[in-house]
Chains A and B, each alone.
Chain A
Amino acid sequence: MKIKNSIALSENGFLFNTETGESFTLNQTGLSLLHYLREGETEKELLQHLLSEYEVQTEVAERDLHDFLETLRRYKLLMP
């Protein structure tokens, strides 16, 4: 799982899809997840990051991560 190469990501969480012209704003958590995705990390590894960086129950982190990845898929930001 990797984000598309056409995604430009700024340090303040502004995401611009250079292919479509769409733009999105990410919070700090979303921004760090995208950085990890860019490095090619797996869903399991992303979950480990969330659990180590935030005080959150595993089920909640899993659900939120799942929702986040679904949102990325819906907006066609992940590589097919």
Chain B
Amino acid sequence: MTRPRYTIAVTGLNVVDSPGPGIAVIRGLRESTRFDVRIIGLAYENMEPGIYMRDMVDKTYIIPYPSAGHQVLLERLQYIHHQEKLDIIIPNFDAELIGFIRLQPVLQKMGIRSLLPGMDQFEERLKDRLPEYGKRYDVLVPTSEPVTTISGLHEALKKFELPVMVKGKFYEAYRAYSEEQAVAYFHKLSAKWGTPVILQQYIAGQEYNVTALGDGKGGLIGAVPMRKTFITESGKGWAGITIADQGLLDMARHIVTQTHWAGGMELELMKEEKTGKVYLLEINPRFPAWVYLATGAGQNHPEALVRLVMGDDPEPMTQYKTGTMFIRYAYDMICNLEDYASISTTGEL
């Protein structure tokens, strides 16, 4: 039997110190035993390393930043679709997801499928809405408060014990041990990601992450929990290991079942040292950069996503190998000047 061949567009090709998930997703897709792929990379800048990884990405197109608006994005995608006849698109950045969610019905009509959370699902899990989320879905969350101004920050700090977590709207989080530190982090994060900046109760314990896939109907298709074993100065997990903790898997199942989540997600969870209780810190609305660990441990989530999108009805995956470990590394590729010139001038490679 011949395997189907899908043309799949993937974003998140920035394999830098805070890597995008694109290459990890592509590796999962390329290792599929059920279908073959032609991978179309969608990049924002000509220095995203994935563009030059020609064994991973067959062709790359530069796409406009989310700030340009989704109409501009749509025009670019129409052009790309005309060239490539895309079957599926897998966006991998928080900040771009709103655009892709808005465009989903239009893209669907064009014949480009995707599995994405709805706008409500996307917005209700935003960091500044975490307390409401916890109440609505009966999930333990740390106390948190969004702040937009310095005076608001000082006021909110009165309600928290130090240390306190100061978190950016989309990315980055810092632990502040004093009011002065909290102010400094507020400035740093608001300048980079805008407001609100979120103050969050610090939970002393061990952080865990779960990569999961929901079918959009309340089914959990796969989930793999991981503990980071090496964390970079900027707080990114550079190595990790799969673990067997039923409490973490229960949390993933509860959230996916309750919210009918569609697509990949990453749960950031904290197990409190004193009580063993599991707190939900964040839901990232896409696969994490370490999703290939799940593939390595026996659950190929990107492959399962494609099967869901194509109506293949994959069986939920419940087994994986604990103690599977990943370690990231940096690798200097030698690239052709012609490739650099092509992506820089034509926006294509």
Contacts and interface: CB of A to CB of B under 8 A. Distances in A.
Interface string A1-16: 0000010100000001
B173 interface: no
Contacts of A29: none
Interface residues of A, number: 9
A5 B278 CA distance: 21
B110 interface: no
Interface in B200-252: 206, 208, 226-227, 229, 240-241, 243-245
B322 interface: yes
Contacts of B208: 21
Contacts of A19: 243-245
Given A20-B227, A21-B227, A8 B244 contact: no
A8 B241 CA distance: 13
A8 B325 CA distance: 14
A48 interface: no
Nearest to A76: B276
Q: Which secondary structure dominates where chain B touches chain A?
A: strand
A13 B269 CA distance: 30
A20 B245 CA distance: 7
B314 interface: no
Contacts of B194: none
A18 to B, nearest CB: 4
A19 B271 CA distance: 12
Contact of A18 (B206, B226, B243): B243
Interface of B: 206, 208, 226-227, 229, 240-241, 243-245, 322-323
Interface of A: 6, 8, 16, 18-23
Contacts of B206: 20
Nearest to A16: B323
Contacts of A23: 229, 241
Nearest to B248: A19
B73 to A, nearest CB: 39
A68 B322 CA distance: 26
12 contacts: A8-B323, A16-B241, A16-B323, A18-B243, A18-B244, A18-B323, A20-B227, A20-B245, A21-B229, A21-B240, A21-B243, A22-B227
A20 B243 CA distance: 6
A47 B244 CA distance: 32
Contacts of B241: 16, 21, 23
Contacts of A20: 206, 227, 243, 245
Given A18-B322, A21-B240, A22-B227, 5 more contacts: A6-B244, A16-B241, A18-B243, A19-B243, A21-B208
Interface centre among A8, A16, A19 (most CB of B within 10 A): A19
Nearest to A19: B245
A21 B325 CA distance: 10
Closest 5 CB pairs of A and B: A21-B227, A18-B322, A21-B243, A18-B244, A21-B241
B148 to A, nearest CB: 37
A23 B244 CA distance: 14
A48 to B, nearest CB: 33
A19 B245 CA distance: 5
A78 to B, nearest CB: 16
Contacts of B244: 6, 18-19
